[in-house]
């Protein structure tokens, strides 16, 4: 079977602002590449089309022409909330121009909203709910769609047929993602600027799921399960990237990389016994890190550790990220720095209960941590998150799927009088951090280490300067 797997472009930025998202960070679509490798293993002819990739044309129509040029029997889309409408429109046009092609949609958004999407979007024949590798393999093999677990199928005059599929019990049974099918990988893909000491870079995921229940996190695909690849699999995957693609740095995007302590020690043992010549970043939770683990990670090549904090207000933290306390965050950041590693803080602005005062407390807390880098997402309500049913009671919500990308405030908590006031508080937080002398000293010290990022930044300096001016205009719009 001829299969084209598509990552739609969607909306990844802020209306009215210049889109610099792929300048700052262009990541390989790992989910599609994992699906592709499973299909290739079964002998299918697979193409990966990344509409956010370095060679993708700028319009939906031109991307559609490229997809249909392969004369596919099946087209599969992975969709975030903000890219789903692009996927649905492309599916509609595919059915108009090539009715025999089967159209399939999957991803977190599809899994969270569910089969109701089939009733609204006629161009989609079926939807993968949950993990996709085994479901898509069954579909491509010609198994009757109604009999495939994990697949919602359109049926005339009847509700979609759905049978649940159990999680894949052994993740090591999956082949490595099909990186070779991605045009421009790895040289034309890059990790967040000034967050890596070497290029080219790549991303990988070594586990699936998370046992915790943060209020804002959509767990529709993996539910409450937590499974992971073995240390041997992870080491060979890293070796594959280094050996076959010349990758020199990897960002590990697990939700909870250090959850299983012994696995991390085993991974570090293998890297120390068989060095790979690359460095890596990973994310940790305050409850799952200690001095010994940090020492071993650094010896194995760790360079920067991200830590999810979300808020510097203790009441908001208790509500939205139970089990994490500010004093533990501070101690963890100190441990990471003492281990000789850099720290990136991950925060979220505009959560239900947020006020100008909680934003100010978060700003002060961020400054007190002496972080090396910072990411502050704009809180976005997602359908599968525990908070979703209560969102109408918590503030003003504009459910515009195209803007639901963590780059726009589609939700304004009751504590703010307007979206503009929330934007000003957000801009003030960022400017306070990036104008802080301690952070600037840290940043200057790592500029030469991250010279590949410096080169990208300088090439796009006019665009970056325009983004800075947009932030300044937001601050200048403050009343009084």
Q: Give residue 161's pLDDT.
A: 66
Q: Give residue 305's pLDDT.
A: 97
Q: Give residue 137's pLDDT.
A: 97
Q: Give residue 262's pLDDT.
A: 97
**Residue range 362-412, pLDDT digits in tens:** 999 999 999 999 999 999 999 999 999 999 999 999 999 999 999 999 999
Q: Give residue 219's pLDDT.
A: 83
- 191-476 matches 2-161 in CATH topology: no
Q: Give residue 108's pLDDT.
A: 93
| Torsion, CA 254, CA 257, CA 259, CA 263, rounded to 10 | 120
| List of residues 6+ apart from 213 with CB closer than 8 A | 219, 224, 322, 386
104 touches 140 (CB < 8 A): no
Q: Give residue 223's pLDDT.
A: 79
Nearest to 9 by CA among 106, 67, 87, 95: 87
Q: Give residue 415's pLDDT.
A: 96
**Residue range 209-265, pLDDT digits in tens:** 988 889 999 888 887 789 999 999 999 999 999 999 999 999 999 988 999 999 999
Q: What is the Rg, in whole angstroms, of the alpha carbon atoms belonging to the chain? A: 22
Query: How far apart are alpha carbons 211 and 454 in whole angstroms?
Result: 38
Q: Give residue 18's pLDDT.
A: 67
> What string of H, E and C letters represents the secondary structure of the chain?
CEEEEEECCCCCCCCCCCCCHHHHCECCCHHHHHHHHHHHHCCCEEEEEECCCCCCCCCHHHHHHHHHCCCCCEEEEECCCCCHHHHHHHHHHHHHHCCCCEEEEECHHHHHHCCHHHHHCCCCCEEECCCCHHHHHHHHCCCCHHHCCCEEEEECCEEEECCCCCCCCCHHHCCCCCHHHCCCCCCCCECCCCCCCCCCEEEECCEEECCCCCCCCCCCCCCCCEEECCHHHHHHHHHHHHHHHCCCEEEECCCCCCCCHHHHHHHHHHHHHCCCCCEEEEEECHHHCCHHHHHHHHHHCEEEEEEEEECCCHHHHHHHCCCCCHHHHHHHHHHHHHCCCEEEEEEEECCCCCCHHHHHHHHHHHHHHCCCEEEEEECCCCCCCCCHHHHHHHEEECCCHHHCCCCCCCEEECCCCCHHHHHHHHHHHHHHHHCCHHHHHHHHHHCCCCHHHHHHHHHCHHHHHHHHHHHHHHHHCCCC
Query: How far apart are alpha carbons 249 and 279 in whole angstroms?
Result: 5
Q: Give residue 200's pLDDT.
A: 96
Query: How far apart are alpha carbons 286 and 282 in whole angstroms?
Result: 13
pTM of the model: 0.94
Q: What residue spans define the domains of the chain?
A: 2-161, 191-476
Fold assignment, 2-161: Rossmann fold (3.40.50)
End-to-end CA distance of the chain: 64
Fold assignment, 191-476: TIM Barrel (3.20.20)
Q: Which positions of the chain have pLDDT values less than 70?
A: 16-18, 156-159, 161, 471-472, 474-480
Q: Give residue 213's pLDDT.
A: 86
Q: Give residue 24's pLDDT.
A: 84
Q: Give residue 480's pLDDT.
A: 46
């Amino acid at each position: 079977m001829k299969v084209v797997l598509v990552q739609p472009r969607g909306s990844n930025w802020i209306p009215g602002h210049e889109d610099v998202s792929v300048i700052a960070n262009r990541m390989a679509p790992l989910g599609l590449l994992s699906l592709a490798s499973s299909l290739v293993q079964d002998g299918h002819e697979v193409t990966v089309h990344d509409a956010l990739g370095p060679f993708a044309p700028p319009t939906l129509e031109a991307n559609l022409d490229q997809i249909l040029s392969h004369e596919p029997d099946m087209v599969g889309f992975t969709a975030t909330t903000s890219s789903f409408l692009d996927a649905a429109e492309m599916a509609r046009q595919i059915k108009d121009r090539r009715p025999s092609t089967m159209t399939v949609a999957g991803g977190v958004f599809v899994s969270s909203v569910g089969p109701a999407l089939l009733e609204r979007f006629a161009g989609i024949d079926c939807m993968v709910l949950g993990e996709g590798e085994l479901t898509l393999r069954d579909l491509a093999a010609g198994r009757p769609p109604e009999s495939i677990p994990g697949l919602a199928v359109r049926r005339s005059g009847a509700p979609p047929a759905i049978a649940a599929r159990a999680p894949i019990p052994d993740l090591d049974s999956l082949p490595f993602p099909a990186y070779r099918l991605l045009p421009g990988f790895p040289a034309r893909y890059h990790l967040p600027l000034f967050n890596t000491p070497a290029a080219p870079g790549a991303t990988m995921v070594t586990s699936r799921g998370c046992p915790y229940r943060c209020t804002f996190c959509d767990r529709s695909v993996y539910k409450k399960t937590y499974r992971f690849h073995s240390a041997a699999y992870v080491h060979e995957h890293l070796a594959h990237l280094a050996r076959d693609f010349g990758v020199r740095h990897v960002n590990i995007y697990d939700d909870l990389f250090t959850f299983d302590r012994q696995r991390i020690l085993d991974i570090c043992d293998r890297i120390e016994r068989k060095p790979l010549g690359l460095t890596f970043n990973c994310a940790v939770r305050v409850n799952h890190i200690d001095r010994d683990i940090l020492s071993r990670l650094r010896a194995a090549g760790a360079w920067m550790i991200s830590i999810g904090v979300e808020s510097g207000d203790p009441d908001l933290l208790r509500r939205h990220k139970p089990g994490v306390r500010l004093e533990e965050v501070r101690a963890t950041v100190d441990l990471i720095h003492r281990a000789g590693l850099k720290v990136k803080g991950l925060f979220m602005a505009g959560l239900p209960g947020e006020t100008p005062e909680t934003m100010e407390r978060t700003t002060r807390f961020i400054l007190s941590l002496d972080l090396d880098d910072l990411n502050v997402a704009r809180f976005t309500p997602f359908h599968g998150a525990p908070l979703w049913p209560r969102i109408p009671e918590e503030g003003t919500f504009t459910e515009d799927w195209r803007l639901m990308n963590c780059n726009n405030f589609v939700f304004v908590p009751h504590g703010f009088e307007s979206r503009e006031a929330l934007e000003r508080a957000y801009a003030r937080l960022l400017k306070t951090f990036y104008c802080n002398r301690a952070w600037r000293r840290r940043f200057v010290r790592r500029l030469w280490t991250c010279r590949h990022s410096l080169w990208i930044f300088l090439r796009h300096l006019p665009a970056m300067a325009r983004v800075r001016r947009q932030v300044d205009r937001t601050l200048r719009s403050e009343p009084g």
